[in-house]
A and B are shown apart, each in its own frame.
Chain A
Amino acid sequence: KNEVEQSPQNLTAQEGEFITINCSYSVGISALHWLQQHPGGGIVSLFMLSSGKKKHGRLIATINIQEKHSSLHITASHPRDSAVYICAAVNNDMRFGAGTRLTVKP
């Protein structure tokens, strides 16, 4: 079993839909990191959180430490949100989930 599990692996949505990507981890963490990877490979850090909830624009990340679970939500999704979203468990290094490939269709 992987240390960091993400679901779903692939997700296709229509523009405007509400998106949820889930991340469960089995290791101890100091923080949970959500990343966005574009087709060219470049990685953008979205959130790093250790408790509660963070919001930035249309993106919301939540974490439940007791349940070892985090979710990334995208409201009013747009085709430009199409990317691979990766969660990573942080504890002196980063262990990555397999990623969720999101495609938002116009």
Chain B
Amino acid sequence: GAVVSQHPSRVICKSGTSVKIECRSLDFQATTMFWYRQFPKQSLMLMATSNEGSKATYEQGVEKDKFLINHASLTLSTLTVTSAHPEDSSFYICSAPLGDYTEAFFGQGTRLTVV
């Protein structure tokens, strides 16, 4: 079946640095990818919708200048957390739907710890 690969699975970074998370669709083209954040014991929260070849759509309250999304190809979307702070520590996960939304596939997730 279709697979979405997310990398890295874990990252620890210092405050003030930037971290890039990659999400790749391995055997299908994903014109849309979703980025979610999950804090401990909470549900997934949609951060932004990444659209290939155009600007991402951010959910209310998500800073687009802090969470940079690039969807330069049909198989790759990246989320860059800029000037990371400890409160950005969270589990970030991407998903990509099949074109007609009959199915959606999730990356393995990235656990970010900012120290």
Contact = CB atoms under 8 A, between A and B. Distances in A.
Contacts of A19: none
B101 A98 contact: no
Interface residues of B, number: 22
Contact of A41 (B45, B91, B103, B105): B91
B43 A48 contact: no
B99 to A, nearest CB: 12
A43 B109 contact: yes
B108 interface: yes
A83 B44 CA distance: 15
Q: How big is the A interface, by class?
A: 20 to 34
Interface string B73-115: 0000000000000000001010101000111111011010000
A41 B104 contact: no
A93 B34 contact: yes
Interface string B32-51: 00101010001111100100
Given A41-B109, A48-B101, A92-B101, 8 more contacts: A31-B102, A41-B91, A42-B106, A86-B44, A94-B104, A95-B46, A96-B44, A98-B42
